[in-house]
Structure 1
Amino acid sequence: MAVMEDVLLLIDLHQHALRQGPGGEEETRRAIELAGLAKGRRWKIADIGCGTGASTLVLARELDADITAVDLLPEFLAVLQERAARLGLAHSITTLAASMDALPFAPASLDAIWSEGAIYQLGFERGAREWRRFLRPGGILAVSELTWLTTNRPQELEAHWVEQYSEVGSAASKMAVLERNGYSPLGYFVLPERCWFEAYYRPMQRRFPAFLAEHGTSEAARAIVASEEQEIALYERYKAHVGYGYYIARKL
């Protein structure tokens, strides 16, 4: 029951947010460019772990594409559908409520797989390995992933993120994962600080008072806010050491 309560609280906190993690429209467009995708061809793309569709909407606007937006939570997909309809992009987007470890795509059926800030839920290596079969030869994998930016890190920071996500690693280690799983890296860049503060953390912090008021300042709601505030404080102190790397690679 406690786990289900936490899930429902997290849905409530994030459901109407533009983003459920760090990112930006400019960065999605940069990844599209590095991937070599352009208008003029009807691409088949899956956006896995799409949340409420921040990256999905950019893909639909920038490309001629049939996009399947995948998320485990129907509540997030409903918000995406509303936004797509309002922007006149619904004809390019099909939503699918599914787990990222049980995707229904046919082998070699996709031109590109996108996953901004979500592949960690499956694990970077497992995701790269298992999703590869859905890509046609030469297909594109574009993902953003928690990445160490320096060789040496403060112990407090390292202990936090290793506990939260054991696959956190350097860009070099992530490139090596892609190469040994049958990809050729095409590009890499680090999300700038505004993708964390302006796009994700500050809007979330502005929602905290209403969120706590709505849930009667319950112990579970307060614990979620405290956990998020701890993560924000760590990033504020140590942002030179950790960030999201955006990785673009081609299936060999």
Structure 2
Amino acid sequence: MTESPIFEIFDGLPRQGPGSNECTEKAFNLLSSLPAGSKILDIGCGVGMQTIHLAKICNDCHITATDIYQPFLDKLMENATKEGLDDRITTVRASMDGLPFEAGEFDVIWAEGSIFVIGFEKGLSYWKQFLKEGGYIALTESTWFTEEPSSDVVQFWQDCYPDIKNIPDTEKVITTVGYDLIDSFRLPASAWWEFYDNLEKRVDDIGDIYKGNTEAEEILSFNRREIKLFREHPDEYGYTFFILQKNTDK
């Protein structure tokens, strides 16, 4: 099966979505009473900037990082080896809706910028089985920051992720599926600017390579639209980092 050009486009980026080491660490510090030797599952890890930072700040954790695109995993392990962290990170090529793990295998599931691929409610429901009782999920999800988004913003999200909700409605899904909400915080706009600066450069650099490739040209055009929109409306939407705990009563 031929891989989508989107993988090659995003392969040249240090991070495949908005985020920062500071946000990763802030979320990790909101987890309490993790047992020694905790096992963390990083789903949709990309090249693993957050994976490596987790390994740095959790000295006795072991992280299993999954992605569907092998070159991302290869790059992750190349970087982990450079940092001397390869003994605490394992990669597994797997789809996030077909994970090859045992029930109750992990203390923490981590998912920065990836759950939208499977859908928020579906992802939370399916992934829960892999958590130990009282285990945590830390993830970012797109949310509205205003009750009255601009019409072009609404149209954009209808085109790419119509499931986007405001924060209270997202929290309702969390509790309905069987988690307790421990905490949440918005990603700062700076986490998006850094990602978009890198993405814009990448799009400009490789545009000529994909001339005549309809699928790739559509992706690149969408990337440009996405970047322009956020520049114009950075306060209307973004990622919220949610820290959840598996509810033992459900």
Judge same fold: TM > 0.5, yes or no: yes
Q: What secondary structure sits across from 2:146 in the alignment?
A: coil
How many residue pairs get matched? 246
Once the 2 structures are TM-superposed, how far is the Cα of residue 214 of structure 1 from its aligned partner? 3.3
Q: Do the aligned partners of 1:114 and 1:143 also contact (CA within 8 Å) in 2?
A: yes
Which residue is 2:232 aligned to?
237
Is residue 113 of structure 2 the alignment partner of residue 114 of structure 1? no
Separation of aligned partners in 2, 1:18 and 1:115:
16
Q: In structure 1, what is the equivalent of residue 65 of structure 2?
A: 69
**Which residue is equivalent to 1:28?**
24
Determine the structure 1 residue equivalent to 2:144.
Answer: 148
Q: Deviations over 1:199-233 (max 9, x none)?
A: x1001111223212334575544332221010111
Gaps of 5+ in 2: none
**Distance across 2 between alignment mates of 1:209 and 1:152:** 33
- The C-alpha deviation readout for 1:172-196, integer Å capped at 9, x for no partner, is 1111111111111011111111111
Runs of 5+ consecutive residues of structure 1 not aligned to the other structure: none
Q: 1:37 and 1:12 mapped to 2: Cα distance?
A: 39
1:103 and 2:99 aligned:
yes
Q: How big is the shift at 1:82?
A: 0.5
Q: Deviations over 1:129-168 (max 9, x none)?
A: 1111111111001110110011111111112102211210
**Maintained 8 Å contact 1:60/1:67:** yes
For the residues of structure 2 that align with 1:243 and 1:151, how far apart are their CA atoms? 13
SS of aligned partner of 2:91 = strand
Task: State TM-score, norm by structure 2.
Answer: 0.93
**Offset at 1:128?**
0.7
Name the residue aligned to 1:183: 179
- Native 8 Å contact 2:12 2:202 kept in 1: no
CA contact (8 A) 1:114 1:142 kept: yes
Residue matched to 1:46: 41
Contact 1:16 1:79 in 2 (8 A): no
Question: How much identity, in percent, do the aligned residues show?
Answer: 35
Q: Structure 1-normalised TM-score?
A: 0.93
* Partners of 2:49 and 2:75 in 1: CA distance: 11
Cα shift readout 1:52-98 (whole Å, capped 9, x = no counterpart): 00111111111021111000110111111111111111011100100
Residues 212 and 218, structure 1, Cα contact 8 Å, conserved in 2? no
| Residue type of the alignment partner of 2:174 | L
Tell me if 1:167 matches 2:140.
no
Partner of 1:224: 219
Superposition misfits of 4+ residues, deviation over 3 angstroms: 213-222
Give the counterpart of 1:135 among 131, 138, 143.
131
Of 83, 90, 108, which aligns to 2:86?
90
The answer for the alignment partner of 1:58 in structure 2 is 53
The one of 183, 186, 194 equivalent to 2:190 is 194
Bigger shift: residues 138-147 or 209-218: 209-218
- Tell me, in whole angstroms, the C-alpha distance in 2 between the residues paired with 1:12 and 1:103: 23
The answer (yes or no) to whether the contact 2:187–2:239 under 8 Å persists in 1 is: yes
Deviates more, 1:222-231 or 1:82-91: 222-231
Q: Does 1:204 align with 2:210?
A: no
C-alpha RMSD of matched pairs (Å): 1.6
Q: Does 1:79 align with 2:75?
A: yes
The answer (yes or no) to whether the contact 1:60–1:92 under 8 Å persists in 2 is yes
